[in-house]
Amino acid sequence: MFRGNPQQTGSTEATLPDRLAVRWKATAPDGVSSTAAIVGGVVYVGSDGGELLALDLATGAERWRFKATEAIRSSPTVAEGVVYFGDGDGVFFAVSAADGAEKWRFDTQGEIISSAHVVDVSGASRVVFGSYDGNLYCLSTDSGKVVWRFEMADRVHGAAAIVDGAALASGCDGFLHIIDLKDGVARANVELGAPTPASPAVENGRAIFGVYDESVVCVDIANAKVAWRFHDAENPGSYLSSAAVRDDVVIVAGHDKQVRRLDSATGEQVWSKPVKKRVEASPVIVGDRVFVGTAGGELIAFTLSDGSERFRFETGAGIYASPAVVDRALVIGAGDGVIYCLGEPTPEE
């Protein structure tokens, strides 16, 4: 699933080699801005050409492809043998992970870029996602029927985080909504001061994400209040990508062409490193490194402690998808439609 877990931390316990090399490449129709999901040795990834591809993780060979109605920019979620994703025509799909056969579809009234969460609610399986029609939807995974929907005042771009029986949904209406998963009723609505396309990342009872007023906001969930706000007046920029968090570490990157580490307790900057182009892909923490893709086509790994560069890979096309990581392998798509799997170098490499 997008960001790796229901709290959307963007941090993984998987390991990667110190050095990485291309193990295989595959090509999708048009570009790729959908972050891959990797389950059981299969890579599931959407394309701007409107196709969901299932690729063998070991070889990159195609297992099947599913044709949607429009571009697939949401990142697929895989649960209990089913792949869930939305497309640019506002259609949300559930297809078999084994062969791509369609199980059901649900029509919204706006583009779907928000990724989905599959959650257990009082013993019933539900899938939760947002749409550009301004609604956060909760559907039955069995039938695709609406259980509830929560209406916001504007589009929902990011994915909701799932914490303590609630969905934390931020959107273009400038609020963080804390919504009870049982009935879709808001427990609290926290004003952010600006819209946000980013998905909240939750660690230690706090939700952290960037907003369009060129700041990063931390919300104390229990108190439903903003705990801190980071803003660099000398080098401002808005944020489309989601934060990566682990313990006291917060990694953010945005249109300011900076990758930053902030302190999760205070929001103070620990270090900042420039990149050549803006960042819209969400960073991923792997061990003592964070991997970040840029619109200039660079995949760069920085050391968490001091921001020193550890790895760089040039794709030749903008990166808008985030890295998907399992043990010893990283998969990422680029704007020209090429999907890369990076892994252990051979002795010759």
Confidence (pLDDT) at 348:
82
Sign of CA dihedral 323, 326, 330, 332: negative
Distance, in Å, from the CA atom of 196 to the CA atom of 200, rounded to the nearest integer, reads: 10
On the question of pLDDT at 130 being above 90, the answer is yes
> Is 332 or 29 the better-scoring residue by pLDDT?
332
User: Where in the chain are the domains?
Assistant: 99-190
Confidence (pLDDT) at 29:
85
Asked if residues 102 and 95 have their Cβ atoms less than 8 Å apart, the reply is: yes
Question: What's the CATH fold of domain 99-190?
Answer: Lipocalin (2.40.128)
Mean of the per-residue pLDDT values of the chain: 97
This prediction's pTM: 0.96
Q: What is the pLDDT of residues 184-215, one digit of tens each?
A: 999 999 999 999 999 999 999 999 999 989 99
Confidence tier at 334 by pLDDT (50, 70, 90): very high
On the question of pLDDT at 163 being above 90, the answer is yes
User: What does 91-154 look like in DSSP terms, one character per residue?
Assistant: EEEEEETTT--EEEEEE-SS---SPPEEEEETTEEEEEEE-TTSEEEEEETTT--EEEEEE-SS
Confidence tier at 235 by pLDDT (50, 70, 90): confident
Asked if residues 203 and 245 have their Cβ atoms less than 8 Å apart, the reply is: yes
On the question of pLDDT at 330 being above 90, the answer is yes
> Could you give the strand order of the β-sheet that contains 324-326, starting from the edge strand earlier in sequence?
21-27, 338-343, 329-333, 324-326
Distance, in Å, from the CA atom of 123 to the CA atom of 137, rounded to the nearest integer, reads: 18
Confidence (pLDDT) at 107:
98
Confidence tier at 156 by pLDDT (50, 70, 90): very high
